[in-house]
Amino acid sequence: MLMFYRFGILVIAVALSFLGKGEPLPDKIPPEIITAFKTGNYRELGRRFNNSVELVVLENENVYSKTQAEIIMKDFFSKYPPVGFVVRHEESREGLCYAIGRLTTKQASFRVVILLKTKGEEVIINQLRIEKDETAR
């Protein structure tokens, strides 16, 4: 499992290097995204997705269109209704913003990694990873 964790960190680092130094991002993840995870609002997340988004949700891993990614999130939230979401770490520097959080559902806990960039004046989700949190009890 440690190997997968290290691989995930490597993927994020590579993604950060490719995003470049775009327009400035907010110092924190927009509250609408946090609320969307807390409430299971897949539509709000869908509004925040880039036209194509790298999405890893349990066994689904691919680059999806905005519409496909929203459908996957709708299915995820219907299977795992959220009970809570807490951001454990977030960082914004050199035009990049990411957050690591913990999504708690009735069935399990998940580690969530969100990678954001700006597109025009909007802050959008470019990459989203949701993995079972093996450290949770």
List the beta strands (DSSP E) in the chain: 49-57, 60-65, 82-93, 96-105, 109-119, 122-132
Instruction: Name, in order, each residue with C-beta under 8 angstroms of 116's C-beta and a sequence gap of 6 or more.
Output: 25, 29, 96, 97, 98, 99, 123, 124, 125, 126
Structure tokens at 99: 């957050």
With residue 39 as reference, give the H or E element that holds it: helix 31-39
Structure tokens at 45: 């997340």
Has residue 7 got a pLDDT over 80?
no
Contact 13, 6 (CB under 8 A): no
pLDDT at 37: 96
Domain limits of the chain? 2-132
Give 17's pLDDT tier (boundaries 50, 70, 90).
Answer: very low
- CA 13 remoteness from chain centre: 15
Contact indicator for 99, 29 with CB cutoff of 8 Å: yes
Task: Write out pLDDT tens, residues 39-97.
Answer: 999 999 999 999 999 999 998 899 999 999 999 999 999 999 999 999 999 887 766 78
- Predicted confidence at residue 34, as pLDDT, reads 94
Q: How confident is the model at residue 18 (pLDDT cuts 50, 70, 90)?
A: very low
- Give me the pLDDT at residue 57, please: 94
- pLDDT tens-digit map of 23-36: 444 557 889 999 99
**Which CATH architecture describes the domain 2-132?**
Roll (3.10)
